[in-house]
């Protein structure tokens, strides 16, 4: 990514993961394998502030594989690639293998 | 569950309990036995933050049998199994036998 | 009650009191005697948290005879008996004889 | 009042004052004399809690003659007498002769 | 005023000032002289409470000539005279000659 | 201004600046010169209060040339001159030459 | 800019960047290159206040290249140039090359 975006506040820049619709061997995968709406965290903001003005760091970090809500998020384009911005509290969870 | 989800904030990952519609001996059970909307807690988030930025732990723990609201929750699929994410404050109570 | 429910947060488990529509001697009671919407507290949650994260105990206790709002509350069934869950702040008052 | 109600939180139990529509001597009073919507405080709750969890006492006391808002309040019946429950902040003021 | 009202919280009891439509000498005044919606403060409440439970005194005092919002306020009648109750924060300003 | 208004709380009394539609030499000015909605601050309130009850002074001062929002504000008339009251937070900015 | 605007509170004065629709050599650029809604920060306000009345500085500074939301912001004209005012929390992020 030639142009870099540092999100403000508790925003999270996410690249959605499009699940492969067929395997590397060419076998078409059934529909249900694409039902998980997830993405990779590309960049995170410094966090929002509590009532005393202190920064509360966001709950995910660069590289995390995150579960995303079905709706919401702001779609943006950087150097012809599509990304989404989510608020930290809208990230549903972190996926581990 | 091969793929593990750690919920963010005060979210609770729940697997709904589908009551058996017939006994192990094959006797059909009457309808009313299925009226309790409950589930098993699979994973819990670290909690939400109070105004001073401190974490408030969630009120249920892994393995708890919880009473769920009739509506709400986010349905997700992990490795072809269906789960629901609820906010801690939406869990109605904990069931004990 | 074979299955016990411990409400979460400031929820109150209430069993509504259905006023007798005739006396034990079989005399039919006039309609107005059934106009008070009240119940018996079966179980109470640990309370909600203030902004510093401390628990605020609920204002009623097990066994209290409470005045309920006309609407609201969540109806649930435990072992074929009907109960209602109310938020502590929705309980109108405590009745004493 | 055989059955006593202790209101929860900052609720105020009020018995509305119905102005006499004729004097004790039988003279019919003009309509305007009944325009003040007021009541007598029968019982008060312990108060609501501030953000630190401390009780804030209500601003009226038993026996006070209070000015009530035109709408609002919850009508209840105790031993065939009609009362109203108001939130402390909905009481408009205290009347003195 | 035989019957006295002490407003609750940060309420302000105001008697609206009806501008004279003709001078004492009988000259009719043009319409624009009546366009200022103002009143005299008759009584003030003790104030509302901040989050620590302390009273915040109201910003006007008895006798002040205040500028009122065009809408809002609660109309009440005390001893056949008409008054209005406003919340302290709805008083627009204090007029000085 | 014979009659003086001291705004309450964080209200700002503003006299809108009507841009001249022709120059002093009589040349008609093009329309765009009138597109800035601004005014002169005539008087300011003492400020609003934070949660600890302390006054937060307003962010503009008497004499400031301020940028106003297109809508909002309360129109009032003092001694036949037209003014507007704005909340401090509705003032968009301060203009300097 | 002959006339200077200092935004109030956490407002940010932004000059939107209109992407060139052809290169300096005269080649027409495809449509997608214009899809990033961004601007240059011209001036920033002093920040908003936390609950203790302290200023929280804004998260961007003069000269920053910022990503803007698709909707929102207040359009203003200063000396025939068009600018937009945004609240600090509405700025999506800061762009770096």
Task: Look up the CATH number of the domain holding residue F42.
Answer: 2.30.33.40
For residue A44, pLDDT beyond 60: yes
Chains G and D touch (3+ CB pairs under 8 A): no
Count of domains observed in chain G: 1
Q: Is residue F29 part of a domain?
A: no
Q: Is residue E94 part of a domain?
A: yes
| Binary contact (A76, G67; C-beta < 8 A) | yes
Digit-coded pLDDT (tens) for C30-40: 555 445 799 99
Alpha carbon distance F64, F72 (integer Å): 19
Does C49 contact chain B (CB < 8 Å)? yes
Chain D residues in contact with E52 by the CB 8 A cut-off are 50-52
CA dihedral G22, G28, G29, G30 (to 10 degrees): 150
For residue E35, pLDDT beyond 60: no
Which pLDDT score is estimated for G80? 84
Per mean pLDDT, which range of C16-20, F28-32, F89-93 is the poorest? F28-32
Does B41 contact chain C (CB < 8 Å)? no
Range of the domain at F47: 34-94
pLDDT average, residue stretch D1-30: 79
Query: Can you read off the two tokens belonging to residue G10?
Result: 């956490």
- Tell me what percent of the residues of chain A surpass a pLDDT of 90: 61
Does C8 contact chain B (CB < 8 Å)? yes
- Tell me what percent of the residues of chain A surpass a pLDDT of 70: 81
What DSSP state is assigned to residue B89?
A: G
From first to last of its 97 residues, chain B has per-residue pLDDT tens of 467 999 999 999 999 998 666 666 766 655 554 457 999 999 999 999 887 778 899 999 999 999 999 888 999 988 889 999 999 999 999 999 8
Digit-coded pLDDT (tens) for D49-89: 887 778 899 999 999 999 999 889 999 988 889 999 999 99
Q: Is residue E21 part of a domain?
A: no
Chains that touch D (3 or more CB pairs under 8 A): C, E
Which pLDDT score is estimated for E22? 61
Contacts of F58 (CB under 8 A, 6+ apart): F10, F12, F44, F45, F47, F88
Q: How far apart are the CA of A83 and the nearest CA of chain G, in angstroms? A: 12
Of D5, D51, D74, the CB nearest to C50: D51
Does B24 contact chain C (CB < 8 Å)? no
Q: Is residue B96 part of a domain?
A: yes
- Among A7, A78, F18, which Cα is nearest to G33's? A78
Q: Is residue D68 part of a domain?
A: yes
Q: Is residue D58 part of a domain?
A: yes
Q: Is residue C5 part of a domain?
A: no
Which pLDDT score is estimated for F92? 97
Which pLDDT score is estimated for G33? 46
Q: Note whether D4 and D82 are within 8 A (CB).
A: no
CA dihedral E20, E23, E25, E30 (to 10 degrees): -120
Q: Is residue D29 part of a domain?
A: no
Q: Please give the full DSSP string across B7-52, using - where no structure is assigned.
A: E-TTEEEEEE----SB-TTSPBPPGGGG---EEEEEEE---EE-TT
């Amino acid at each position: 990514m030639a142009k870099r975006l540092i999100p403000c506040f508790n925003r999270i820049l996410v690249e959605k993961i499009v699940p492969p619709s067929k395997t590397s061997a060419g076998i078409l995968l059934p529909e249900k394998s694409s039902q998980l709406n997830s993405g990779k965290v590309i960049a995170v903001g410094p966090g929002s502030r509590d009532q005393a003005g202190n920064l509360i760091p966001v709950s995910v970090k660069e590289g995390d594989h995150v579960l995303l809500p079905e709706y919401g998020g702001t779609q943006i384009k950087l150097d012809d690639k599509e990304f989404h911005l989510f608020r930290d509290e809208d990230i549903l969870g972190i996926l581990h293998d």
